[in-house]
Amino acid sequence: MEVRGLLDNVIPLDKEADVVVSCELEGCQSLKMSWIREGELNLIQKLSANVLKAGPMPKHVAFIMDGNRRYARKLHVERQEGHTQGFDKLAETLRWCLNLNILEVTVYAFSIENFKRSKDEVDGLMELAKQKFIRLLEEQENLEKRGVCIRVLGDLTLLPQDLQQHIARAVLATRNHNKCFLNVCFAYTSRHEIANAVREMAWGVEQGHIKSSDVSEALLSQCLYTSNSPNPDLLIRTSGEVRLSDFLLWQTSHSCLVFQSVLWPEYTFWNLCEAILQYQLNYRPLQKARDHHREEQALQQLEADQACVADLLQHRGNGKPLDAQRRQEALLQYTASREHRVQDFLCALQHKRDTYFTDFKAGL
């Protein structure tokens, strides 16, 4: 393929694949670092971007930004400098994504597993995170101009209270922006997220918003932290590690997964182009799998509704079977009732989540 040959000539790939402890906070020590860099692509980058845009482009890209600490060791500098360079690279990567019309990015910033590190290291990472969100609040004008919505996904109750307050302010300050979206997974693991979604559905049943028969795979998806976002089209992990490390396990079942050996602070525009090309090469089978999954979900829901209707009719009836038209009417009525219950529950759930942020902002 001519396009692939072109990119192969310009993408500098790091062939090392040493195992690195993953799921780091991509921190920055300086409050002067911007979350999104200004600037345009250079001429060669623009030409390459136009070539890529001739094919299907991912709308949502997720990153496991791995390799900051190894980068610091490689340069014989302090670990903190690796985190600084890592955050700087995130800002640069967001600029590339905007120039490629990738309008949603999700990053793995801090895993719940990272709390198992030493107290000094965890405290340092929390301080770095606080600095980053303070800087974000100082950039509100730039974020508003670009229409950037910041979402922070995870069990934020595990974080220090002052950090929770800064996160709440950042989320509320940008929640009405809708041109592009940055999702920061913080105090997050996918298993924790799925378990929390199950608890939310149990809460919905307990509160009378939904029935136990309303619980489904689709409803669980709507109870995840990521419910306001489409599933990622492309997931990229750097540093040569070939695993997901409990990141977006539910959401990436039909995503293109690309593992690259380059360390995150050394990530380049050409590395991103290579990953997008891999997505394009696998686009058709991925779309086919997604379409098939949607059809299977719809069929499963229909069968579940039919079983519930049959059970209701059996209890209400006098033993005489209903004709096909009456059964269809009963099915439509039940489906509308279930959808109303589910919508009522999701509104209550969103209100509960919004209240968490507004309460913290009010406490400032």
What is the predicted pLDDT for the residue at 169? 93
* pLDDT at residue number 27: 38
- Which portions of the chain are predicted below pLDDT 70? 1-34, 317-322, 361-364
Tell whether 327 is covered by a domain.
Answer: no
- What token pair was written down for 296? 């299977």
Domain assignment of residue 20, yes or no: yes
184: which residues sit within 8 A by CB, 6+ positions away? 106, 107, 109, 150, 151, 152, 153
Give dist(CA 216, CA 204) in Å, integer: 13
Q: What is the pLDDT of residues 51-81, one digit of tens each?
A: 999 999 999 999 999 998 899 999 999 877 8
pLDDT, residue 164, reads 94
Tell me, yes or no, whether 38 lies in a domain.
yes
339 inside domain: no
pLDDT of 4: 42
Q: Tell me, rounded to whole angstroms, the distance of Cα 155 from its chain centroid.
A: 14
Question: Contact, 233 vs 255, CB < 8 A?
Answer: yes
Question: CA end-to-end span of the chain, whole Å?
Answer: 57
Domain of residue 206, CATH code:
3.40.1180.10
Asked if residue 300 is part of any domain, the answer here is no
| Residue 255 domain flag | yes
pLDDT value of position 359: 84
Structural domain of 64? 2-291+349-362
The confidence score (pLDDT) of residue 28 equals: 37
Which DSSP helix (H) or strand (E) runs through 237? strand 234-237
Question: Are 113 and 154 within 8 A, CB to CB?
Answer: no
**Total domains, the chain:** 1
Q: What is the pLDDT of residue 13?
A: 34
pLDDT of residue 242: 96
Half-sphere exposure of 139 (CA within 13 A, CB side): 24
Q: Tell me what pLDDT residue 142 has.
A: 86
